[in-house]
């Protein structure tokens, strides 16, 4: 079990995984900005009145949804990429 703990806390592996997560989040932020712009343009061309409340609600709703989905997806990749998922299964097998 000592080898597993050392691997999970390896600073080089952790730094690489977090750099990859930040890279994913940059693309997610760009996607959120484009999604908000697309939603607002769609509302404008549909003829909806773009009041301040509509713009704020649409921006918050679309951006939050995309950012939350992207962050959770990135955390799944972070967990799988560092070996945490595989190591959890191995710890259970060693305990038996």
Structural tokens at position 8:
């999970």
Structural tokens at position 54:
């509509």
**In the predicted model, is pLDDT for residue 6 greater than 90?**
no
Predicted confidence (pLDDT) per residue in 28-85, tens digit? 999 999 999 999 999 999 999 999 999 999 999 999 999 999 999 998 888 777 766 6
Cα–Cα distance for residue pair 41/29, rounded to 1 Å: 18
Altogether, the residues listed in the chain come to a count of 96
List the chain domain ranges.
Answer: 14-82
Which residues 6+ apart lie within 8 Å of 21 measured at CB?
74, 75, 77, 78
Structural tokens at position 39:
């939603």
């Amino acid at each position: 079990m000592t080898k597993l703990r050392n691997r999970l806390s390896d600073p080089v592996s952790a730094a690489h995984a977090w750099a990859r997560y930040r890279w994913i989040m940059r693309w997610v932020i760009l996607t959120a900005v484009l999604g908000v712009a697309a939603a607002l343009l769609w509302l404008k061309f549909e003829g909806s009145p773009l009041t301040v409340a509509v713009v704020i609600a649409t921006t918050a709703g679309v951006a939050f949804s995309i950012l939350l989905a992207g962050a959770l997806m990135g955390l799944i990749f972070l967990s799988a990429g560092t070996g945490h998922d595989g190591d959890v299964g191995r710890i259970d097998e060693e305990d038996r």
